[in-house]
Amino acid sequence: ILSAHEEIARKEDEMIHLKDLLTMAIRERDEAQAKCQRLMFEKFILKQQLQQKQQIEAAPLSGTTSNEDEPRGGDSNNTNTGFSSSDCDENNINIAYPILQEVTEKLVPKKRLPEKGKFLQAVMEAGPLLQTLILAGPLPRWQHP
């Protein structure tokens, strides 16, 4: 009986050790996935900037420039943020969408819809969050001083 208790104690210690290893592996996996998502996003942004730079360099080579193509010196709204209106072009979004969707699907567990008859309960549980979002109104826009 004494050896059985010792065996149980060893198995419990081993289970605790394995649980700690599993927790550490899960945390490392989550960190790696977050880093992967960040790097893929940075890669996408750099590709967009490279394409813009190539388009800008290709435009003067065409030999036809006008005053409308050149930025105005007095335009205070034209600040170089690394992004332009073409970054939001539907074609650019469609290129990045499959990559970002794949990464997002791996990182975010898919939540199921509430069971039949449980929709009201799910809405009631999310009530404070929904109320905060509704009352908050539109998000403030960043303005450069």
Evaluate whether residue 74 is within a structural domain: no
Question: CA 129 to CA 122: how far, in whole Å?
Answer: 12
DSSP for residue 89: -
Evaluate whether residue 96 is within a structural domain: yes
Evaluate whether residue 3 is within a structural domain: yes
Q: Quick check: 80 pLDDT over 60?
A: no
Tens digit of each residue's pLDDT (9 = 90 or more) over 21-65:
998 988 898 888 888 888 888 888 888 888 888 888 877 655 554
Kindly state the tokens that stand for 101. Answer: 């969707």
Higher confidence at residue 123 or residue 42?
42
Question: CA 123 to CA 136: how far, in whole Å?
Answer: 18
Question: CA 56 to CA 62: how far, in whole Å?
Answer: 11
Evaluate whether residue 117 is within a structural domain: no
User: pLDDT category, 109, cuts 50, 70, 90?
Assistant: low
Tens digit of each residue's pLDDT (9 = 90 or more) over 87-97:
444 444 444 45
Global pTM reads: 0.37
Evaluate whether residue 70 is within a structural domain: no
Q: Which domain covers residue 13, as residue numbers?
A: 1-62+85-111
- Angle formed by the axes of helices 90-107 and 2-61, nearest 10°: 170
Evaluate whether residue 67 is within a structural domain: no
Structural domain count of the chain: 1
Buried (b) or exposed (e) across 12-47, using 16+ Cβ within 10 A?
A: eeeeeeeeeeeeeeeeeeeeeeeeebeeeeeeeeee
- According to the model, what pLDDT value does residue 73 have? 42
Evaluate whether residue 98 is within a structural domain: yes
